[in-house]
Amino acid sequence: MSEQEAKADNLNSAISKKEIISGLEDRYIKLLESKIAHLQSQLEHKKLEPGPDVEDGDFRDEVDAEATGPMNLNSVHQVPGGKSEEGPEELEDKESRYCMIITKWDPRTGEFQEKSLPGIKDGNPYGPQPKLNRAFTFRKITGIRTSRLLPDNDLSSSSEVDVVFPPLQKLLGRITSKWGWPEEVTKCRSPYRPLIYSWEEAEREASEIIDDESEDEKQARDDLKELLIIISTSSGDVRLDRYFNDRRTLLNECTITHDALWTLFPPGRLIVGRPCHDEPQIFVVDSCDGFVSDDETFEVVCYSFDWNGSEFSRVPFQMGIDGWGGDRKSVTGLPFYPLDFYEENGLSRDASIEKLRKRLIERGRKYVTFCTAEKGRQMFNYLDGPAYFYRTGAFLQRKETDADTDLDRRQRSSSSVASDDMEASTIGLGASWKPIEGAVIVDFASYLTYQPAKAPILGPLPKYEGAVAELSPERRAKKVFKDMYKSEWDRHSPSREISPEQLFCCPPRVLGYALKQKTWVQLLVKHLDTPNEADVNTFRNKLQLDLDAKDLISKSVFAHAKARKRENGVSKGLDDFAPEKGRGLVIMLYGQPGVGKTLTAESVAQMTGKPLLSVGVSDIGIEGDKVEMNLQKIFALAGIWEAVLLFDEADVFLEARGEGDNDLRRNAMVSDLAIKFTELRPEQKISIFTSFLEQLSNKGLIDNLKDLESWVRKDGKRYDFNGRQIRNVISTALGIALADGRKLSRDDLASVARQTDDFKRDLSTQEAIYRDRQINQRT
């Protein structure tokens, strides 16, 4: 086939498709006109018969046998006994109040064409002609989605209402203005979201009888009733009609279809989700998508009441629900859903919600306590619970790239809103829940400073940076909008009282830093506990250091702490000539490895009840300019947390600060104290051996403690071991004993010590041989 013939075939195929679609539209319009005329005839002759499942005040769809599928827009309003509410004369007046128009897209002209639906009698038109007593004009719009042809040639449809009668305009406004419509509704369009959100209220208003109302106000209620009938039975919007066809079943079964999800999430509604390790959390809806296709993700923007490091405020998040097709699904089976549906096993909904409310309010109080801890009191214990890791590395901020953004987008896919799915989806992506325990710092401001802008702050969810609802000053001043959007929650000072409703909406996590893991994490409130009290036992009894050196360190530390305190704004210490200089206490510990330098820093932190911020080469880097920048960040954090800052193996990165700066004597000169650690003396080795063995004895892991202590005093002290090596010898010996199903014995300890000593000797010999070779090569 030639290229011209192929193009001709494609053109003919496209024309054929247009003709088919145009024919479907014409058929639909004719069926609709025919049905409306048929309904008018039924009303006029009062020959309506009730369906088998019609109840008082119910709406029933009558489906034309020729008009099947999504185009079934035919229905009538029934009353008990199968008769219409009005006689022929009343019907004639009633029909003149409501005008229906069909607006059809004409692909040949590229314009919409309007066509009225005439009545049975010439004197009783049901079309677009203006009438003095008209209440509203209902316009149904049909046409082709010109942006693309769907595979099934789906026809788009919608409708709109021009409200003419002023009392009806005001009645609609009174019912729906809180959802966004004006106080006088003159025009509205499908899917009529504010009206759907307040549907039950609208039905009550339409049926209410008030004796002292004016005739116009009573008429407005009747007009509203007719408008509700049209929208709920033959709206002209295929998806809205499908929702009303299913509505009674959805309400009775507490189920929902994917394209009707928006009906569950009006602005201001409280919803419950579990983005943080299956912990329930309450959000306030800001906005949501409308109708979406069955395979699209439905998204909701909602708020929590959160802390940013200086004040409480509404923090927006975007959560999504993946499409699942056209089937109904249990509302409580969604990743998040309205609080009204919440249930716990064996309890009614009201009892379940009240139980949840009490639990989350109590959690909120703890959350506020942790968030507002004073400077220097931000360290807490984390009791063996999960923490959310996003990226490792506290100070080396990653550069955000397009690849990172794509990864983050995959990581935060809507299916991962449920925490279990999130754990599975983040394997290998650098973000997951991992168990930790030990000392942690709660610090929102620093977390937000040192993490990337798009880093998650609520499980896998980042802060939503898109547009949120903006209220005019007039609406902000109205209580109904304050209650709905919680605008008064913004910029809430920690000194102000926090309401139970705000506590109810607090998240289950705090943001902070794990000291042992040396990374920024999200921490669950329920696993946080008060910090350990200051403890001098390790410094006094376990640290093997000369008494004079211990005394010098302890007195210097406590004197420094006292000097930092101020009375009437005046420091008790000596001020440096340069402002902000000389306010820290710098102690340089130097000597051979494994003799107690790191333990000294740890014991000082325990003695003062302060966090130990340990920093190594991997945290700082070795490039000169980056070292300087990262050191500034570290010192800033240490100042905020009032931490004991430990530079482990400091000589490595001190050399990187610049040429001429790598002299040990120079670094010693800027230190307040310089403590030298020598090799362990025999009595110090005995003390270290005994300390570790007593720990194991208290756990019931030693066969005969006295026998082991005897070996230590006789043989163990002779080995040239430092403190770290002593610990490794005991740990290895214990592992061998446990592998054999025994407790630690003297033979286990002696055997491992002997092998370790032999290895050290061989290693020293090889190092000496290597050095000699290097010297000979140079000479």
CATH of the domain at 640: 3.40.50
Of the candidates 371, 314, 320, the residue with the CA atom closest to the CA atom of residue 523: 371
Based on the domain organization, do 344 and 453 belong to the same domain? yes
Flag whether 574 is in a domain: no
Question: What pLDDT is stored for residue 483 in this prediction?
Answer: 83
Considering the domain architecture, whether residues 381 and 491 belong to the same structural domain is answered as yes
Considering the domain architecture, whether residues 499 and 601 belong to the same structural domain is answered as: no
Residues 337 and 389 in one domain: yes
Report the number of distinct structural domains present in the chain: 4
Identify which has the larger pLDDT, 87 or 495. 495
**Do both 384 and 417 map to the same domain?**
yes
Name the band, by pLDDT with cuts 50, 70 and 90, for residue 671: low
| C-alpha–C-alpha distance, residues 501 and 349, integer Å | 19
Mean pLDDT over the full length of the chain? 78
What percent of the chain has a predicted confidence (pLDDT) above 90? 44
For residue 2, being part of any structural domain is answered with no
Q: Which domain holds residue 489?
A: 262-529
At 479 the pLDDT is: 80
Looking at 296-399, which runs of residues are DSSP E strands? 298-307, 312-321, 329-330, 336-338, 379-389
Q: Are residues 114 and 33 in the same domain?
A: yes
**pLDDT (tens digit, 9 = 90+) per residue, 635-669?**
899 999 999 988 877 666 555 554 444 444 545 54
* pTM for this predicted structure: 0.75
Within a domain: 575: no
Residues 604 and 727 placed together within one structural domain of the fold? no
> Do residues 449 and 301 make contact, with C-beta atoms less than 8 angstroms apart?
no
User: Which single residue is written with the structure tokens 């008030």?
Assistant: 210
C-beta of residue 163 within 8 angstroms of C-beta of residue 185: yes
**Among 677, 712, 729, residue at a domain's last position:** 677
**Residue 345 burial (10 A CB sphere; 0-12, 13-18, 19+):** exposed
Q: Do residue 447 and residue 324 come from a single domain?
A: yes
Q: Of 223, 253, 283, which residue is a domain's last?
A: 253
Neighbours of 421 (CB within 10 A): 16
In-domain check, residue 11 = no
More confident residue, 344 or 478: 344
Residue 84's pLDDT is what? Answer: 40
DSSP one-letter code for 505 = T
- In this structure, of 67-81, 93-107, 165-179, 405-419, the range with the lowest mean pLDDT score is 67-81
Place 560 in a pLDDT band, splitting at 50, 70 and 90. confident
Q: Convert the pLDDT of each residue in 244-288 to its tens digit.
A: 999 999 999 999 999 999 999 999 999 999 999 999 999 999 999
Are 655 and 702 in the same domain?
Answer: no
Q: Worst-scoring range by mean pLDDT, 204-218, 513-527, 614-628?
A: 614-628
Q: Report yes or no on 94 lying in a domain.
A: yes
Which of 677, 709, 736 terminates a domain? The answer is 677
The CATH number covering residue 748 comes to 1.10.8
The pLDDT confidence band at residue 73, using thresholds 50, 70 and 90, is very low
Q: What is the pLDDT of residue 49?
A: 39
Does one domain contain both 82 and 102?
yes
| pLDDT number for residue 83 | 38
Higher pLDDT pick, 220 / 131? 220
pLDDT of res. 681: 86
Distance CA 502, CA 769 (A): 71
Dump pLDDT digits (tens) for 437-449. Answer: 999 999 999 999 9
Residues 544 and 490 in one domain: no
Question: Does 307 share its domain with 175?
Answer: no
Residue 576 lies in a domain: no
In degrees rounded to 5, what are phi and psi of residue 239? -70, -35
- Is residue 625 a part of any domain in this protein? yes
Alpha-carbon dihedral of residues 415, 417, 421, 425, nearest 10 degrees? 80
- Residue 469: pLDDT band (50, 70, 90) is confident
Q: Please tell me the predicted confidence (pLDDT) of residue 767.
A: 76
Residue 169 domain-assigned?
yes
Q: How far apart are CA 555 and CA 597, in angstroms?
A: 18
For residues 5-21, give the mean pLDDT: 51
12-26, 616-630, 682-696: segment of lowest average pLDDT: 12-26
